Amino acid sequence: MTMYQEVAPSHQNDNLFSLENAFALSPSFGLCLRVLADIGSVWLSLLFAVTLVDHTNIVTLLAQTTDTFVPSAGLFSMLAFISYAGAGLYTHARRYKLPKKLGRIICVNLGLLLVAVATLAVVGLPTPISTNVLLTAFAGATLLQGLTRVISEALRSDYSPEAGCTSGTQVDDRKILVIGGAGYVGSALVERLLNQGLRVSILDAMHFGEEALSKVGGHPNLTLIREDFRHIEVLTRAMSGVGSVVHLGGLVGDPACAVDPELTVDINVTATRLVGEIAKAQGVRRFVFASSCSVYGACDEIVDEDSRFNPQSLYARSKVASEVVLGALNSRDFAVTCLRFATIYGFSGRTRFDLVVNLLCAKAVREGVITVFGADQWRPFVHVDDVARAIVMTLQAPIEAVTGQAFNVGSDPQNYTLGDMAKLINRQVPDAKIVSDETCVDRRNYRVRFDKIRTCLGFEPDWTLDRGIAQVIALVRSNRVGHYSLPTYSNVLLLTTRGPETFGDFKITGWENELMNIDQILPAKRISQAAAA
């Protein structure tokens, strides 16, 4: 079965009015402005109609109707807000074509006009507002509201003309954007997506070169955008008509993130919020975010998706903060899923030797030493190919099963202590010596439960840690890769060699600091509530 069969997700309510549309609203500054503009247009039109049509003095009218006008105005404003929201003018604004928006505005305003006429008849104001005034007021309100939609549509059309990236662009559910698609996980994922006949765009600054995409280079369904994903115009253009976005971009790993904390927050948190907001505005339906099991940090108990976050590094805190900002964006039209990867091992298009399994395998072969820091510490492990497969399964799953969800990606049998993992390597490289070093112990210690992804998505890894170790050892012995200590194989070494300035200017705005405060981190199951508060 091919991916993305639904052109319009079944949960979207396209009736003229539905309270589900109102309940789906996510509070934001932009939403407040739209609501104020719509309701303000009604009262502004009424003000002009009373003054110009009936030649009534507003001050006199208010003085005569103080007891009834104020509560009536409040109730009517609330009714207008519910009517506009229920018509989908705020939740589906990007999906509706302009004629449909205008038609809904006319229908809602006609309904409000009938309510106003009936209300005035029941209340019986001492100085009644005439029907002509009401007709003029609601005609004016409809004109103003329609005009704002026309202007907004024109501005969006002019924003990125070269890409045709307007709100009216038809979303293609077989078109996927992979941010960071030339990376360690991305290169494995892109190949799988292309093999399924999907149209894939990669947005990547290509800091690690072209080698990662050598197996798929020149594929007719592949588009490579060599740009920094922090640029608004680049994101807007890249997401035109895209049905799904997989966000793998960012600085990965504790050592790399510790080099320049401001750069880490800028790339991993500030930019992630930007990516999510633009994706939602462009009509993207599925958004998969690459998180990490390191958000659990240090815990003596086995943890699951509802366990308390306890990040022990800047990298882990940036993942928690990103989940918060993306959780606030999740809605019926924009399904956000966070995949918390276990510690990854194995080889993909981009070689990495800064991962514990890959590094210790290389050191065992090249130097005959397996140095373990904190042999009793627990880690979950998963092969990079299985991570890519889990992402594909998330994209294939019914949208209602993954929207707003977080999944640990791995398997219960692949929870190992670092000492036991070293012994597995030693069995395949018996000449190597295990050395336990307790002078520099990582504070992380966590065993993870993976029941949720197994029961909800049917995910079971194809790889075992033993088999993955054999793959890495065979590749190192074959001399098909350079020495494991080369900067190109390590995120932190490449960053320190080139310098943080190669990643551009900082864009931190201030809101990130609160989310990066470890004292404010909540249990995972309360994360969406905190984001919406």
Nearest to 121 by CA among 189, 72, 169, 170: 72
271: domain range? Answer: 172-346+383-413+450-463+497-532
Q: What is the pTM of this model?
A: 0.67
pLDDT of residue 30: 66
- The span from the CA of 423 to the CA of 433, in Å, is 10
Q: Looking at the structure, tell me whether residues 276 and 189 fall in a common domain.
A: yes
Radius of gyration of the chain (CA): 28
CB 352 within 8 A of CB 489: yes
What is the phi/psi pair of residue 176, to 5°? Answer: -125, 135
* Residue 372 belongs to a domain: no
Q: Looking at the structure, tell me whether residues 44 and 142 fall in a common domain.
A: yes
* Residue 364 belongs to a domain: no
Tell me which of 126, 159, 192 is where a domain ends: 159
Q: Looking at the structure, tell me whether residues 139 and 182 fall in a common domain.
A: no
What is the phi/psi pair of residue 202, to 5°? Answer: -110, 125
Other Cβ atoms less than 10 A from the Cβ of 100: the count is 13
Q: Looking at the structure, tell me whether residues 113 and 232 fall in a common domain.
A: no
CB 159 within 8 A of CB 94: no
- Token pair, residue 384, equals 């990079």
- The span from the CA of 269 to the CA of 278, in Å, is 14
pLDDT of residue 46: 77
Q: Looking at the structure, tell me whether residues 516 and 388 fall in a common domain.
A: yes
Burial class (CB within 10 angstroms; exposed 0-12, middle 13-18, buried 19+) of 139: middle
- Tally of structural domains, the chain: 2
Q: Looking at the structure, tell me whether residues 106 and 68 fall in a common domain.
A: yes
Other Cβ atoms less than 10 A from the Cβ of 181: the count is 28
* Residue 319 belongs to a domain: yes
CATH number of the domain bearing residue 194: 3.40.50.720
Per-residue CA distances from 448 to 105, 242, 265, 413, 521 (Å): 51, 33, 26, 10, 19
Q: Looking at the structure, tell me whether residues 131 and 180 fall in a common domain.
A: no
Nearest to 227 by CA among 180, 259, 183, 267: 180
What is the phi/psi pair of residue 342, to 5°? Answer: -70, 180
- Token pair, residue 378, equals 């627990």
The C-alpha angle with vertex 95 and arms to 90 and 101, in degrees rounded to 5, equals 60
* Residue 89 belongs to a domain: yes
- Token pair, residue 306, equals 């509802």
Amino acid at 239: M
Q: Looking at the structure, tell me whether residues 78 and 186 fall in a common domain.
A: no
- The span from the CA of 380 to the CA of 183, in Å, is 21
> CB under 8 Å, gap of 24 or more: what pairs does 171-174 form?
171/241, 171/242, 171/243, 171/283, 171/284, 171/285, 172/199, 172/241, 172/242, 172/243, 173/3, 173/4, 173/5, 173/6, 173/7, 173/243, 173/244, 173/285, 174/2, 174/3, 174/4, 174/198, 174/199, 174/243
- The span from the CA of 323 to the CA of 327, in Å, is 6
Where are the strands (E) in 237-334, listed by range? 242-247, 286-292, 298-303
Q: Return the residue matching tokens 């815990």.
A: 299
pLDDT of residue 518: 44
The torsion defined by the Cα of 464, 470, 474 and 475, in degrees rounded to 10, comes to 40
pLDDT of residue 3: 32
* Residue 368 belongs to a domain: no
* Residue 474 belongs to a domain: no
Q: Looking at the structure, tell me whether residues 106 and 69 fall in a common domain.
A: yes
CB 222 within 8 A of CB 175: no
* Residue 395 belongs to a domain: yes
Q: Looking at the structure, tell me whether residues 183 and 103 fall in a common domain.
A: no
**Residue 415 falls in which region: left (phi positive, over 0), alpha (psi -120 to 50) or beta:** beta
Tell me which of 159, 185, 212 is where a domain ends: 159
* Residue 378 belongs to a domain: no
pLDDT of residue 95: 54
CB 339 within 8 A of CB 185: no
Length of the chain equals 533
Q: Looking at the structure, tell me whether residues 455 and 320 fall in a common domain.
A: yes
Q: Looking at the structure, tell me whether residues 326 and 182 fall in a common domain.
A: yes
Using the 8-state DSSP alphabet, how is residue 340 labeled? E
Tell me which of 112, 136, 159 is where a domain ends: 159
Tens digits of pLDDT across the chain (533 residues)? 223 223 333 334 456 667 666 665 656 666 788 888 888 888 788 777 777 766 666 666 555 555 555 566 677 788 888 888 888 777 655 556 678 888 888 988 888 888 877 776 665 554 456 777 778 888 888 898 888 888 876 765 444 333 334 445 688 889 999 999 999 999 999 999 999 999 999 999 888 888 889 888 889 999 999 998 888 889 999 999 999 999 999 888 888 888 888 888 888 998 999 999 999 999 999 999 999 999 998 888 999 999 999 998 999 999 999 999 999 999 999 999 999 999 999 999 898 999 999 999 999 999 999 999 989 999 999 999 999 999 999 999 999 999 999 999 999 999 999 999 999 999 999 999 999 887 766 677 889 999 999 999 999 999 999 999 999 999 999 988 888 888 888 888 877 877 666 666 555 555 555 565 544 445 444 444 444 44
Where are the strands (E) in 110-221, listed by range? 172-179, 199-203
Nearest to 404 by CA among 323, 460, 459: 323
